[in-house]
Amino acid sequence: MQDIDEAYPALLDNALQNLRGRVHKGVALALKSKVLLYAASPLFNTNEPYMDFGTNNNLICLNEPKNMVWWERAAAVADSCIRWAETNGCYLITDQGVDANYQYSWEVYDNPEIILAEKAAQVWVVGIVRGRVLFRARLLPVVRVQTDDAFVELCA
């Protein structure tokens, strides 16, 4: 969560059209929303893990009594993501007919439901900042870009 919050101000407002596939503010909000939703879920938002993981129970639950603050945080970030989508051209497809909306969302390349898209296949990109792997995704081949504290490596 801290990494998302730190990266957010430096991200593009959106990366739609020819920049689709690059991480932007909408992606950060969507990822943060999903992480908070998992944290708020009954399986994680408890001091009684769903299975005994011994001394590592803190890896599968929050180890605190159920806390509604996690739901409130998840809802607030999800709302921010929805507001971002509304102002940046992302929306649910509803104009193809009840049966065809889902099919359209999978068959039409770069449709408006997409916040982050994979643009190529067969090559993985790994983004690492300050020694932490932030993301792995398939992209186009070729280079390693490096600064003092970060690098992105494209590898087959």
Instruction: Provide CB contacts within 8 A for 1, sequence distance 6+.
Output: 32, 35, 36
> Are the CB atoms for 74 and 36 separated by under 8 Å?
yes
Q: Collapsing DSSP states into helix, strand and coil, what is residue 54?
A: helix
Rg (CA), the chain: 18
pLDDT in tens, the chain (156 residues): 888 999 999 998 887 666 667 888 999 999 999 999 999 998 888 888 888 888 888 888 887 888 899 999 999 999 999 999 999 888 888 999 888 888 888 788 778 888 887 665 544 445 555 555 555 555 444 444 555 555 444 444
Q: pTM above the 0.85 mark?
A: no
Q: Distance between CA atoms of 23 and 80, rounded to whole angstroms?
A: 17
> Using CA of residue 136, residue 21, residue 29, residue 114, what is the dihedral sign?
negative
**H helix runs in the chain, sequence order:** 2-7, 25-40, 69-87, 101-107
